[in-house]
Amino acid sequence: MSSQPMSSSPCPEAVPLNRRAVALISGGLDSALAIYLVKRQGIDITALHFPSFFAPLDLEDEGAPVRVLARQLDVPLVLIPKGMEFLEVIRNPRYGHGKNINPCIDCRIDSFVRAKAFMEEIGASFLVTGEVSGQRPMSQRRDAMRLIDKRSGCEGLVLRPLSAKVLPLTRPETEGIVDRDRLLDIAGRGRKVQLKLAQEIGLTGFSAPAGGCLLTDPGFARRLRDLLTDKQDVNTADLELLSIGRHIRVRPGLKLVVSRTEIENGRIEEIAPAETVFFPMDFPGPTVVVLGVPTAEEETLVAGIVRRYSKESRRGEAIRIRDGQGSTRVLSVNNVAQDDWIAAHIL
């Protein structure tokens, strides 16, 4: 059984549309141009963004691309984070994963279902997106777009202004809410038209294409797949740690996160205060957080990893271990973890 949400209330054909729309904004150029093309026709637009662990946004950062673009376009911005429930979409996508662990079609359906609920909440009647026909191999094929619209309950209500003239008519067009002749006919992966239009209207501050979703990153995807395989009850700390340090899978139920910088030393402690942490005592080196319960032999291995990632000329032997309750003890070791073992276990 799929975990994919499906809209429970299809959009009724008999209800006339109004001139209010919700536009999905990613922080990229295409979604911003889609808003521009529709807003210039006098449509009242609210921009909607879905931050998640996999497309993170510092909610306090006024310089984030979605905020910069919303200000330039002079549209209100609403942020609705995708919470831990979104993990189930990633674990069990009805329509499969892409090249990595990206469930693009299921993710899009999930976003449209959420957007439709928000549309109904604010009294908007159609949805605007920056999708371009043929730009993405999984979710922006024409058949995939039709499927996504249908499964989300928004069939006929999703306007894609950048590709409108090469796609079937939507209700906003047939009902005269939006003038199709003032929309575009872009298809494929080229971006010359978008970049030229952005220059003409002075649009700046957008993020690079395909740079926002960690699920498409091979390294991140490998770590996340390992986490979901190893652990059912994933928590926020597990997800936040995925983007930090070196990850070493010792065995099922035991993983290490080894910091790479002084900044990561402190960040690891902030994220995982309830986990066991290994610190070098009398020499500079990495902090290692232990996810799981190590045996005495494995503790010696972890200490050896601390020493391996310290400068050879300054490796000390005293390792401080702090457990999740704040108790500390000292372990003295002189072994150094071997590179071939690490290479076989690093994620």
Give the dihedral sign, CA 275/281/287/292: negative
Contact indicator for 89, 111 with CB cutoff of 8 Å: no
Give the CATH number of domain 20-211: 3.40.50.620
pLDDT number for residue 270: 87
Q: Which residues contact 308 (CB under 8 A, 6 or more apart)?
A: 336, 337, 338, 339, 342
Q: How many residues does the chain have?
A: 347
C-alpha pair distances (Å), 235 with each of 229, 232, 287:
14, 9, 21
Q: Compute the chain's Rg from CA coordinates.
A: 24
Strands lying side by side in the sheet with 246-251? 246-251, 254-258, 288-291, 276-280, 318-322, 328-332
Residue (of 229, 314, 232, 239) closest to 280 by Cα position: 314
> Domain residues of the chain, as ranges?
20-211, 217-345
Give CA–CA dist 166/149, Å, rounded: 17
Mean pLDDT for each 10-residue chunk of the chain (347 residues)? 46 74 94 96 96 77 89 96 91 90 93 96 96 79 91 95 95 96 90 91 82 84 95 90 94 96 88 88 92 94 94 87 88 93 96
pLDDT number for residue 2: 42
C-alpha pair distances (Å), 104 with each of 32, 67, 87, 137, 317:
20, 24, 13, 10, 48
pLDDT number for residue 129: 96
CB atoms within 10 A of CB 154: 22
pLDDT number for residue 59: 64
CB atoms within 10 A of CB 332: 10
Give CA–CA dist 133/139, Å, rounded: 9
